[in-house]
Amino acid sequence: MSNPPEYANLMETLVALCKRRGFVFPSSEIYGGLNGFFDYGPLGAELKKNIRDCWWNDMVRRREDIVGIETSIIMHPKVWEASGHVAGFTDPLVDCKASKQRFRADQLFFAPVIVDDAVVGYVSALESDRTAGELQEAAENFKRKRAIQGKLAPVQPRDMTEAKPEEIPLIPSPATGEPGSLTPPRAFNMMFETQVGALRDASSTAYLRPETAQGMFADFKNVVDTGRVKLPFGIAQIGKSFRNEITPRNFIFRSREFEQMEMEYFIHEDADWAKCHREWIDWCKGWLLSIGLPESHLSEYDHPREKLAFYSKGTTDIMFKYPFGVQELWGIAARGNYDLSQHAKFSGKPIEYFDEATKKKFTPHVIEPAVGVDRIFLAVLCAAYAEEAVTDDKGNTEMRVVLRLSPRVAPVKVAVLPLLKNKPELVARAQDLHRRLKRKFAVFYDEGGAIGRRYRRQDEIGTPWCVTIDFDTIEKDGTFTLRERDSMQQRRIREEELFALLEDRVF
Ligand code: GAP
């Protein structure tokens, strides 16, 4: 029996589980995959849909002040000029001319090697949770290999955006270990370009949207004119976004095609934006808890004022403790009236709201909670994964892998298991129950193998409950054995109780 992986080393185990059980596959794997793109398998598609459905139900259907829309992925290119994406949606890029590899300048760190107050060379390392340690080791190796005598100063890491022009030729490429091949950082626009129509010139250039948010701003007037909405109100959308990330990484955490769930909450220009911002941070946190993320893994990060865009009043990220570090999960931004004003300016059409009370027109301000479905998916799996030793009735101990998923997001809600597959009366009763349950819930029917093995298979994919149809079911009172995933406790349950339990816990 091997030891369960430490949380910090969980990713390899999780990626393997996702592949083995059909949650996530590399995209186009038969052709070697495509970096930054992923496919969701049968269980992954269910889990992802459940995350989307929970968000849509809680954010849109169960509220009176928010409506949902679905806008096109390719929009008029002027949208992206107005939003600032054409000019400014860039990451700093460094090329390695020798290896042809590309690095994000703010993720490539370097340090001068200083011995007895003199710079004797440079070392570099890609960002990790121990960048400074790696650079220190590299500096020690540098000094030892060249037999340099003297006292090595502790390294002072900087990233490539901070490199002076004269330092760049001296910094080794992480790809080759040799200096001389890195270019100075340049701005790289992350929008994917495409052409609309048969003509291929500048006038036909369009973009795959890098965020869903602009759809809500561009349609603001249409929604106000048709949706009978009154301030404060929100427009929400779920959909794919595309970013040509220089370094997609950490599995589905940062990919080039991903899905966003964004909501623009429009408020009066004189409203207390800070209060509203805080309420949305709390709402988002509460929602994450409701789908099973543990509070201990969540924290908040307030963007420093000096790093905010000029129009931004404040941005707070809800951070999640992933195995590879604490990272942004959900950004909640107070964006003033910048977006609506920009679209009014670029389209030449006023975008305003008429206040019945004051009989005045104004441009509403907005609070924007924006989150990635894939990042929630990964957070949910990281928090749910467990390995534990279990001992059966005969005293045999084995390791079980269990995904402690909330019933709200679990891909399969209940597995229906006839105790024996060669007893037609048990099989018929189990199939009958399965038929009735699957009209409403995602259920799984399994008659193959020993019952203990069948439980383990369901534990590994996070199924919260298994029901076993045994001889008592058909010969006595019609009850089934209900087995709970986390406690592994078993109890007898009637069919109507089972339906009531599911109704109560899965939506
Ligand atoms: N409209 C605001 C906006 O798009 P963002 O912080 O760039 O803000 C919002 O993105 C959320 O989208 C992030 O908090 C993250 O959850 C998700 N996201 C952004 N880039 C992503 C990527 N490359 N891969 C997966 N998710 C991403």
Percent of the chain with pLDDT over 70: 100
pLDDT per residue over 339-366, tens digit each?
999 999 999 999 999 998 899 999 999 9
Q: Distance between CA atoms of 51 and 380, rounded to whole angstroms?
A: 10
CA distance between the termini of the chain: 37
Q: What is the pLDDT of residue 3?
A: 73
Q: What percent of the chain has pLDDT over 90?
A: 91
- Taking only the tens place, the pLDDT of each residue in 15-38 is 999 999 999 999 999 999 999 999
Rounded CA separation 183/243 (Å): 23
Burial class (CB in 10 A: 0-12, 13-18, 19+), 356: exposed
With cut-offs at 50, 70 and 90, classify the pLDDT of residue 208.
Answer: very high
Torsion of CA 336, 337, 340, 344, to 10 degrees: -150
pLDDT for residue 2:
66
Task: For the chain, give the longest Cα–Cα distance.
Answer: 88
Decide which of 303 and 129 is more confident: 303
CA distance 340 to 264: 11
- pLDDT, the chain, mean: 95
Ligand 1 atom at minimal distance to the Cα of residue 256: 23
pLDDT at 321 over 80: yes
Mean pLDDT of 66-93: 97
Distance CA 111, CA 129 (A): 16
Q: What digits encode the pLDDT tens for the residues 393-428?
A: 788 898 999 999 999 999 999 999 999 999 999 999
Q: Which protein residue has the closest C-alpha to ligand 1 atom 2?
A: 370
Question: Residue 19: enclosing H or E segment and its boundaries?
Answer: helix 10-20
Contact between residue 258 and residue 374 where contact means Cβ atoms under 8 Å apart: yes
- Answer whether residue 198 shows pLDDT above 90: no
Name the residue of 52, 249, 308, 375 whose CB sits within 8 Å of the most ligand 1 atoms, as the mutation to test its pocket.
375
Q: What are the beta bridge partners of residue 455?
A: none
Would you say residue 239 has pLDDT above 80? yes
What does the pLDDT look like over 286-307, one tens digit per residue? 999 999 999 999 999 999 999 8
Residue 124 CA to chain centroid, in angstroms? 29
Nearest residue (by CA) to ligand 1, atom 14, is 330
Which residues 6+ apart lie within 8 Å of 139 measured at CB? Answer: 111, 113, 123, 152, 155
**pLDDT band at residue 1 under the 50/70/90 scheme:** low
- Nearest Cα to 260, choosing from 366, 372, 398? 372
The pLDDT of 172-198, averaged and rounded, is 96
Residues with CB under 6 A from ligand 1: 211, 213, 243, 245, 254-255, 258, 260, 262, 328-331, 368, 370-372, 374-375
- From CA 200, how far away is CA 228, in angstroms rounded? 41
- What average pLDDT does the segment 375-391 reach? 96
Kindly report the protein residue whose alpha carbon is nearest to atom 17 of ligand 1: 372
- One-letter amino acid at 438 equals K
**Protein residue whose Cα sits closest to atom 6 of ligand 1:** 331
Q: What is the pLDDT of residue 356?
A: 87
Q: Look up residue 496 and give its two tokens.
A: 């109507």
Q: Is the dihedral angle over the CA atoms 487, 492, 497, 503 positive or is it negative?
A: positive
In this structure, how many other beta carbons lie within 10 angstroms of the beta carbon of residue 198?
Answer: 6
Q: What is the pLDDT of residue 473?
A: 93
